[in-house]
Amino acid sequence: MAAMRTGNVEIARLLLDRKADVNRKRSDGVTALHLAALFGDAALAGLLLDHGANINAAVEKPSGVMTPLTNAVTQAQVAVVALLIKRGVNLKGAQGGDALEIAIQQAGDGFIRRPIDAPSNYGPRGDAVYEARWRIVELLLGGGVNVKSRDSHLLFLAANGGQAGIVELLLNKGAYVNGRGAVGPAGGLDDGKTALMGAIDSWRMARFDETNPDDGPLSASALADVRASEQFGRKTVEMLLAHGADVNLADARGATPLMQCVSCDLPDLPKMLFAHGAKVDLTDLQGQTALMRAAMENDPGLTVLLLAHHADVNRRDKKGRTALMLAIDDGSNDLIRTERMHEAEFTDHGPLDSPSDLPNPNGHPEIVRLLLQHGADVTAMASDGATALSLAQKQGFAPVTALLKKAGAKR
């Protein structure tokens, strides 16, 4: 092993010629080939393989199975990856998928430079690393890693990372365009989102990073990176749609791509989805539609668009609430008040200082007005007996109360 760590090929050759065990393992199961792959020593790896090293030697780790291939991919060792593929490493099973997943996740640290993308701002060394990662993805795909399974998460991973170039590669290799992310025991993880939903999340986040910087205005280079991310996110969405992504598939919580448009500051996105057949009144697991979500989040632009596409303004969720009721009071104000009351028992900040501290400080009068103009039923009653008017009065929203009474609300 010492010869392997130092990379001394001649000493290793001498030892192997004297019948040293090429597959001898350390106490943790690591072999010489694992180390050669990790350190990118293609010459030493080739020598070990010539002497019968197990090319698929697997070691169970808390983070997953480690093999010479995954070691080489993790460290972006292009020459070793190419050598292992040439020598017949098994890419058909889990090992190939694991290696490609690592390559995709690592490439998410930056953006692969290819005609579909833009030059990065990471300098020559950074670009060389990303170029190496791109080459590894190409090698793995060319070597036969299966990306066509409907259970594969690979397309989602690339789409969620805004990696337009890798998404293009995967689609050209036959990846299932509606591939999903992982789902945890109670939803969670990636919530079973489709690749399209992952791409939308990437685009949304990039837009948010531009419009809501954490530490003041972005520098020129940071702004360029964020805008490049927006570009990649949009291109990925467009590419998936062009390849037939189903715009009406929902995630594990029942949310659809159209629901993702709420408060995303991407006015073109819902139009793109409608152009590809988005259904306006699909519901999530709570029975809520995109219109209900837009009403709750005070998104007048999307509300107008949804109503223009004939969203059912009086559709009810599983608690019998309409978009009008949810715009006025979705329960979030009471939840915050309760939390602050409990916190006040242990801190000295006291109750909420003003209505502006609440998630919904005014009952969203603009949304209420829009819904009323499109026929919202002011007499509708939720399962608990609440009406739009009773909710507005409970929260003390005088302007909204006046709007409802003008529209004929009595109780």
Number of separate helices (H) and strands (E) present in the chain? 21, 4
Q: What pLDDT, on the 0 to 100 scale, is given for residue 36? A: 94
* Stated pTM of the model: 0.88
| Residues 91 and 71: beta-carbon distance below 8 Å | no
- Quick count: other Cβ atoms within 10 Å of Cβ 332? 12
Structural domains of the chain sorted by starting position, each given as residue range(s) with its CATH number in brackets: 280-411 (1.25.40.20)
Full DSSP string of 64-79: EEE-HHHHHHHTT-HH
- Report CA-CA distances (Å) from 216 to 207, 212, 337: 15, 9, 30
CA distance 309 to 313: 11
pLDDT at residue 356, as a whole number: 62
Mean per-residue pLDDT pooled into runs of 10, the chain (411 residues) = 63 82 92 94 95 95 90 96 98 91 75 47 68 91 93 94 92 96 68 96 92 83 86 95 98 97 95 99 98 98 98 98 97 81 60 69 97 98 98 96 97 89
Q: How far apart are CA 214 and CA 91, in angstroms?
A: 42
Residues with Cβ within 8 Å of residue 217, at least 6 apart in sequence = none
SS3 99: helix
Q: Is beta strand 64-66 parallel, antiparallel or unpaired with respect to 183-184?
A: unpaired
SS3 for 269? helix
Give the distance, in angstroms, between the CA of residue 164 and the centroid of all CA atoms in the same chain: 13
What CA–CA distance (Å, rounded) separates 280 from 107? Answer: 35
Q: Which residues pair with 269 in a beta bridge?
A: none
What is the model's pLDDT at position 352?
Answer: 53
Asked if residue 130 lies in contact with residue 179, where contact means CB atoms within 8 angstroms, the answer is no
Classify 65 as helix, strand or coil: strand
Residue 183 has a pLDDT of: 78
Q: Buried (b) or exposed (e) across 87-124, using 16+ Cβ within 10 A?
A: eebebeeebbbbbbbbbbbbbbebbbbeebbbebebee
Tokens coding 202: 């990437």
Helices 9-17 and 42-50: crossing angle, nearest 10°?
10
The enclosing H or E element of 105 equals: helix 94-107
Residue 325, C-beta contacts closer than 8 angstroms, at least 6 positions apart: 380, 382, 386, 387, 388, 391
